[in-house]
Amino acid sequence: MSKTVIAKYAVGGEEFEIFVDADKAYDFITGKISNPMVPLEVEEVFKDANKGDRQSQDKLKKAFGTEDIEKIVALILKNGNVPLTTEQKNNLLADKRKQIINIIATNAIDPRTHTPHPPQRIEKAMEEARVTIDPFKSANLQVDDIVKKLVTKLPIKFATVKVEVVVSAEFSNRSYGVLKQYGLKSEKWLPDGSLSVTLEFPAGLQSEFFDKINSATKGTAIAKIVST
């Protein structure tokens, strides 16, 4: 049976606390439910929940930029401290680690070769660098600090890649959907019906892109990396 717990969030020297259902709060944090009001047991934000001291509207507005309780609750659950079971924390930590590895693998490259690092290599470097992951903090907010630690174990930098692609008339319509997924910057239809485009996307997606465009055009697309 689930129990009521106090989720806490501190910002600007102020405390913000809410009463939530523990299991439903975990479901919101992990994306199983999307409505932050579902876990909320008492529709109030407190500065000290145990004492029943409510937080002022002025401080809510200053800290969160809004007085909308739904938005405030969502931020507290996503960025605050929510009491969880050991199993829930371990699952959340594993999921956060996976998210961080995916972000780095998608956006970063080896500056020596200008090629992406495989997720397994990134994970190993994180272990060697003894990276600490906060299960309650957004993956995006942790990536920069983690990459700074990884550079001692792995040559790495964030980069985008610009690619010019020419697709023959036979496959132009069929491949257009793929091209649109990868930062379509410009396009030009040529007299013979072929399509010439310039794309810009995270450098870690190079292999994925080339696999997809080759599949869509049966290997006939002409693609050239013009900058990274």
Which tokens belong to 51? 């004492």
- Pick from 157, 154, 138: which is nearest to 100 by CA? 138
DSSP state of 205: G
36-68 tens-digit pLDDT: 999 999 999 999 999 999 999 999 999 999 999
pLDDT of amino acid 156: 94
In this structure, the strands spanning 160-167 and 222-227 are antiparallel
In this structure, the strands spanning 195-202 and 160-167 are antiparallel
Q: Please, what is the average pLDDT of the chain?
A: 93
Distance CA 207, CA 65 (A): 41
pLDDT surpassing 70 at residue 80: yes
Which tokens belong to 116? 């992406």
Cross-strand pairs, 11:
14
| Cα angle 216, 219, 220; round to 5 | 95
- Sign of CA pseudo-dihedral 96, 102, 105, 108: negative
Cβ count near 178 (within 10 Å):
19
pLDDT of amino acid 101: 97
- Pick from 24, 23, 79, 83: which is nearest to 49 by CA? 83
Describe the strand order of the beta sheet including 160-167 as a list of residue ranges. 184-189, 195-202, 160-167, 222-227
SS3 content of the chain, % helix, strand, coil (to 5): 45, 25, 30
Domains of the chain, CATH where assigned: 4-79 (3.30.1250.10), 86-158 (1.10.10.900), 160-227 (3.30.70.240)
Alpha-carbon torsion, ordered 83, 30, 149, 101, to 10 deg: 160
pLDDT of amino acid 136: 81
105-163 tens-digit pLDDT: 999 999 998 888 999 999 999 999 999 999 888 899 999 999 999 999 999 999 999 99
pLDDT band of 1, cuts 50, 70, 90: low
pLDDT of amino acid 73: 97
* pTM of the predicted model as reported, rounded to 2 decimal places: 0.69
Give percent above pLDDT 90 in the chain.
86
Q: For residues 194-214, give the mean pLDDT.
A: 94
